[in-house]
Every structure is written in C-alpha cells, then in structure tokens.
C-alpha cells in the first residue's frame, strides 16, 4: 500500500504504451499537480515527452503532426468538451487518451463521434486522481470543503471520486467505518458505497478484503491543526506553507533568484527524505554536518593537476552540483525557520499551546496568555491561536474569560478576521459538536517537563501533544475501536483485525497526523496505514476551513459579558 508507487505505475505506463518517438503530454490544471508530485520534469523528459501543454490553454502550439499526444485529464464535463473540440481539429498525429477516473459511457460515445479523422488509438481509465504527497499520505487539494457545516455538493462529488481512485489504484475493496457523530462522514461513506456497488466490476479484486476505510471528521479534533509544529516537514508547512511540494521564499530578504521558489520532495531529495520527521534541534545539527561534509569535498576537489584528476572531478561533479543545490536549499529553509522562531517568540508561544492542549491549569494559563498577547514579538495569528485553544479547552469552565481575551486582542489591533475566529471555532467544533473529550489528559499532566536541550529529544515539552487520530488508529489496529462510536456501514462487519487501514479526514489532515501514521506503521509491521484528507492544513488553511464552514449559520455562541 503505497500511493506514490501506485501513481508512478500509471504515469510510467501512459508514457510507454504509445511506443518510442517524440510525445506531447496534454493535461489539465489538476493532473499537472498529480504528475508533478511524483515525477520531476527531467524524469518525464527521459520518457521522450518533449512538450507539456494544458488542454484549456488559450494559445497552444500549432501543426505538430509528427508528435504523438498523450492526454491525461480528469473526466469532467469541461474536459470532455475540450477534448471533443481537439479531436475535430487535431493538432497532433495520434492520441492516447487517459482519464484519471471512471468515465461515463455517454462521454466515450461523444469522443468517438468527434474523432472523424480517426486519430485516437486508445482510451483508458487510469485511477491517478489524487495527490500522492508521500508513500502513506494523500490529499485531494480541496480547501474549505463544507458550507454551513455540511458538504458543499461539488466538493462531496470530488471527494468521492478521489477516494474511489485511491481504492482502485491500490486494488482495495474495503469495509467502511465512519465517525458516528459526523453527518458529513456518514454521507461520504454512503456515497462511496454507492460507487462500490454501481462499479462492482471494477472492484472485483481477488483476495477476501482485509482492509478498512475509516472516515473521520476534522471537527472532532480541532486542536491538532491549531498548534505550531517542531518537526521539519510540519514546521516548513506551518511557517512557510508547502504547496504541491513547492515553498515560496520570494519574501525572504536578499534571497538569490534560484532560491525564490524551492521544491522539497522526498522522491527527489535524499536529504529531505531522511530528515523530514526530525525535530528542529536535530535538523540544525544535520545541516551543520551536511555543510561540513560539503566543504570537505569542495577542498578535496581543488587539486586538479592531471587528466585523471579532471576526469575524476567531472565524474563527481553532477553529484557535487546536486549536493550544493541541496545544501543551499536546506540551509536557506532552516535559516528562515530559525529567524521566525526567534523573531516571533515561538518557543514561548508553543510551550503554552502544548500546555493548553495537554494540561488543565486554568488561572495560570490565562495569565500566560495575557502576557503573550501583550508581547509585541508575538504575531497576531499566534495570539489568536492561543485564545482559540483556550476557548476550546475552557468553553464550559465557570470562570472562563473568553470575552476578556477577545477584548485584549481587539485592543492590540488584531483584525476582525482573526477575532471572529474564536466564536466561529466554537460553532465549528465546540464541545457540543465533538464526540471525544480532547482535554481529559490527566495522565499527560503528570509528565515531568523535560528540559529543552536545543530542541532535541522528542519527549520534550514542545511535543507533548499527540493527535486524537493516534489513539483512534491504535484502538483500530488492536481491534478495539468502539463499534457504536465508529459503526460499520451496512451489515458488513469485519471479524478479524484489519491488515490495511485507509483513514480519511473530512475537513483536512495535518503533517503532525502524517507523522503519527508513520510512527504507527513503524511500530506495527503487520498493519499498513495510509492517511488522506481533503487537504493538508496549517493554521492559515484551517482558519479558512472554519470561516467557510460557519458562513451563513445562526450563531449559538454569544459573547458573555461579565
């Protein structure tokens, strides 16, 4: 069960089925992202693909009849219409058409009718209709999936298609379980079962199913996406935002042109692959080692005195060049993270976030929040997220001072966009909407605080929080997940322990949860877990999710005045 391998298999097959010769790859906006996450441009060029075109581009290259065209698009009405136009007036010699998901028979008929010049050689369904972020993590790239606390119909349809593609690409026909308290999780489960029934021919996989699809709702754990992160991948996403493996650094003072946008991909960057789960203290040390190694190699290469020396240097050079690129990129990223941690007092902010999510000391925590709201180094968004965590934790506390903290934020000049979020969050995910008690962590409070030794040692105060997902999956792996709280869909009940779990979070997942799944996969070698979400959140995207979800609903939460 590896989503990267599954997608690479399809894309390799597409580029090879048309045989040798120069090819053009015709895609849409979504399929470009799907391909670029698993293949670099140079890897695609090696497959004789010399031109990349977008099917909806206004101006495209003309008269290239000597090229074969590989079409890889999503099976949408718009794409089918564009493709029909293309076939009526073909720009290329022959066409091999691949849809990223199940295509309606009526649409195939339309294409056949448009192919008057008989340029189409093949039409296939290749189920590469999701973003494979890492072997155990996928996303559908849908930001803000609900409206008025229920599904936006277009996003529901897209989510059903995405999960269907995941199941077909991994050849799984799973039992379905869902979070009982979530109407959205239930509806999605039912829609997926409809597809499994309707397309039963496509889902005839030989083995008896030992896999489970578990559908959860982000609303049950709003804490995880609110926290600042301290492992490399999660930190880069939280502070700089990773968008389809790309990080925009153009805002960094004095940045060189080639580093204004960097690609970080575990597929193509060994350093990143080996270090994405390390915490910040460890990553600093690793970067230092990498630089020293680089300097040693550079010194060694200065002696070029003979032909043999030159030959050796040239042989080592591609690696050398690649390494210097990697060094520069990660030094820049870690440098920028380090600056932000210092400038915005993130160590103190994060320590309090962890306390708010793991310990109950109301009056002490309230005083600490007030102090940090008055600290000019703290960003508005961090002051707001502390108040949001406080509101979630102490919503029902007799002496809670949510109103007072909001007044302080307003006095500080925090924008209305942020101050509104506090009550929006309680609408979205307050105690009445959650099925689990997130803050009953008596055991955690007893953890003795470890000193923060340069942020090494994962058991320190900055990583006390463990996402709710970890607990849920641990129960499921042991076969102990409560059947009332997480019922099976229909009368199908699995009698043995699952060997494969595909867990999907409606409303988005996080890199902290991806790390939890990575750790569970390491601990339980006989159960494979894959995690997906409508998107992968950081604080900014999660607040957008909350705002969209609570637009147009009548507020239950009114500020209380003391």
pLDDT in tens, 201-212: 888 775 667 899
| Contact (Cβ atoms closer than 8 angstroms) between residue 33 and residue 7 | no
Note the pLDDT of residue 434: 83
Note the pLDDT of residue 456: 43
Segment 259-287 mean pLDDT: 89
Confidence tier at 273 by pLDDT (50, 70, 90): very high
| Contact (Cβ atoms closer than 8 angstroms) between residue 513 and residue 531 | yes
Instruction: Give the total residue count for the chain.
Output: 562
167: pLDDT strictly greater than 80: yes
Strand order in the sheet with 242-243: 242-243, 246-248, 261-263
Nearest to 164 by CA among 200, 127, 198: 127
Segment 231-258 mean pLDDT: 93
Note the pLDDT of residue 40: 86
Confidence tier at 557 by pLDDT (50, 70, 90): low
306: pLDDT strictly greater than 60: yes
Nearest to 232 by CA among 37, 518, 507: 518
Torsion of CA 103, 106, 110, 115, to 10 degrees: 60
Confidence tier at 487 by pLDDT (50, 70, 90): very high
pLDDT digits (tens, 9 = 90+) for 90-111: 999 999 999 999 999 999 999 9
Note the pLDDT of residue 313: 65
446: pLDDT strictly greater than 60: no
Question: Model's pTM, two decimal places?
Answer: 0.92
Instruction: Tell me which residue has tokens 């957008």.
Output: 544
Question: d(Cα 27, Cα 288) in Å, to the nearest integer?
Answer: 41
Segment 181-193 mean pLDDT: 96
Note the pLDDT of residue 440: 61
In terms of DSSP H, where are the helices of 176-231?
Answer: 183-198
Confidence tier at 560 by pLDDT (50, 70, 90): low
Note the pLDDT of residue 454: 39
| DSSP-derived secondary structure letter, 244 | T
| Residue 264 DSSP SS3 | coil
Structure tokens belonging to residue 202? 């496509």
């Amino acid at each position: 069960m590896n989503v990267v391998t599954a997608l690479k298999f399809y894309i390799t097959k597409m580029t090879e089925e048309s045989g040798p010769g120069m090819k053009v790859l015709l895609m849409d906006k979504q399929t470009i992202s799907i391909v670029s996450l698993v293949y670099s441009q140079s890897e695609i060029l090696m497959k004789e693909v010399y031109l990349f075109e977008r099917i909806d581009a206004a101006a495209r290259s003309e008269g290239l009849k000597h090229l074969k065209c590989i079409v890889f698009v999503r099976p949408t009405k718009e794409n089918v219409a564009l493709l029909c136009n293309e076939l009526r007036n073909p720009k290329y010699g022959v066409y091999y058409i691949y849809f990223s998901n199940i295509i309606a028979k009526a649409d195939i008929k339309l294409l056949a009718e448009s192919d008057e010049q008989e340029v189409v050689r093949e039409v296939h369904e290749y189920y590469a209709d999701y973003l494979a972020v890492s072997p155990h993590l996928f996303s559908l790239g849908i930001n803000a999936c609900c409206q008025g606390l229920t599904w936006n119909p277009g996003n529901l349809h897209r989510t059903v298609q995405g999960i269907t593609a995941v199941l077909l690409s991994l050849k799984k026909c799973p039992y379905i379980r869902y979070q009982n308290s979530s109407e959205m999780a239930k509806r999605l489960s039912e829609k997926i079962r409809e597809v499994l029934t309707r397309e039963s021919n496509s889902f005839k996989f030989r083995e008896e199913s030992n896999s489970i699809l578990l559908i959860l709702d982000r609303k049950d754990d709003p804490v995880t996406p609110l926290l600042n992160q301290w492992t490399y991948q999660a930190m880069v996403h939280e502070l700089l935002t990773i968008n389809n493996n790309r990080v925009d650094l153009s805002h960094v003072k004095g940045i060189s042109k080639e580093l204004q946008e960097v690609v970080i991909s575990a597929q193509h960057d060994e350093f990143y692959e080996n270090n994405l789960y390390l915490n910040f203290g460890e990553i600093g040390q690793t970067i230092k080692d990498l630089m020293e190694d680089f300097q040693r190699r550079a010194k060694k290469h200065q002696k070029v005195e003979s032909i043999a020396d030159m030959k050796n240097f040239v042989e080592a050079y591609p690696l050398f060049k690649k390494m210097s690129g990697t060094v520069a990129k990660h030094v820049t990223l870690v440098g920028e993270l380090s600056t932000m941690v210092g400038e915005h007092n993130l160590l103190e902010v994060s320590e309090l976030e962890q306390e708010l999510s793991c310990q109950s000391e109301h009056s002490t925590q309230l005083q600490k929040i007030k102090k940090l709201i008055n600290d000019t180094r703290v960003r508005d968004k961090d002051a707001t997220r502390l108040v949001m965590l406080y509101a979630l934790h102490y919503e029902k506390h007799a002496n809670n001072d949510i109103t007072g903290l909001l007044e302080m934020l307003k006095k500080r000049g925090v924008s209305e966009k942020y101050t509104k979020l506090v009550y929006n969050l309680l609408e979205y995910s307050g105690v009445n909407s959650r099925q689990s008690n997130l803050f009953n962590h008596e055991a955690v409070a007893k953890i003795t605080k470890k000193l923060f030794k340069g942020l090494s040692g994962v058991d320190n105060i900055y990583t006390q929080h463990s996402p709710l997902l970890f607990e849920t999956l641990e129960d499921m792996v042991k076969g102990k997940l409560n059947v009332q709280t997480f019922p099976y869909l229909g009368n199908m009940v699995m009698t043995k322990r699952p060997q494969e779990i595909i867990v999907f979070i409606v409303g988005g997942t996080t890199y902290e949860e991806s790390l939890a799944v990575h750790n569970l996969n390491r601990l339980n070698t006989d159960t494979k877990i894959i995690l997906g979400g409508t998107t992968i959140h950081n604080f900014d995207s999660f607040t957008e999710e909350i705002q969209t979800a609570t637009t147009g609903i009548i507020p239950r939460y009114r500020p209380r005045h003391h």
